[in-house]
Amino acid sequence: MVEERRGDVRASYHQNRNRTGSTESAPSGKIGEITPQGSITEFPIPTASSYPTLIAMGPDGNLWFDEWMGRIGRMTPTGSYVEYTMSASNAEMAGIAPGPDGNVWFTEGGIGSRVGFVTMAGVVKELPPLQRIPSGITAGPDGNMWFGCTGAICAYRLA
């Protein structure tokens, strides 16, 4: 379920137990919900080994998440999914956040090195490539989107 529920946490995760009983990271295709009592419910993503990494509540009330290799996903309260593919299918998605403009913004690291957004109508818009690798993104109190970069101390503002 996607509706706001105090005390519940939704997260994407990728953890498997190996033969010795210790945990290790492994590609996954699930979104998990954890209740305050510790009960975990998993919601499989249609694309196997999609490796969801970051998750945010969108302005439309749906959960939006980035998938490691060039996709953004949206999960509705009823559990149905839509996936949006970036222009570089091997782009390393590195951030996702709702924007004050009503869109969901994302950063692409690695090959893509872009910032972009998805409209509520499902249109993907990627801005021109950057000189630095963007990482993380958030809406600032000034009404603009802000993101950092990997490998250097910097912050950018999208006005």
Question: Domain map of the chain by residue range?
Answer: 9-158
Q: Is 130 or 105 the better-scoring residue by pLDDT?
A: 105
CA distance 134 to 113: 6
CA distance 58 to 149: 23
Topology of domain 9-158 in CATH is: Methylamine Dehydrogenase; Chain H (2.130.10)
Burial tier of 57 (Cβ tally within 10 Å: 0-12, 13-18, 19+):
middle
Query: How many Cα atoms are found within 13 Å in the side-chain-facing hemisphere of 2?
Result: 20
The answer to which of 2-16, 18-32, 88-102, 126-140 has the lowest mean pLDDT is 2-16
Which of 71, 151, 73 minimizes the C-alpha distance to 112?
A: 71
Q: Is 146 or 48 the better-scoring residue by pLDDT?
A: 146
Question: What tokens were used for 138?
Answer: 């958030």
Question: For the segment 61-116, what is each residue's pLDDT rounded down to a tens digit?
Answer: 999 998 877 889 999 877 888 999 888 777 888 899 999 999 999 998 877 788 99
pTM score:
0.79
Alpha helices by DSSP H, listed for the chain, are none
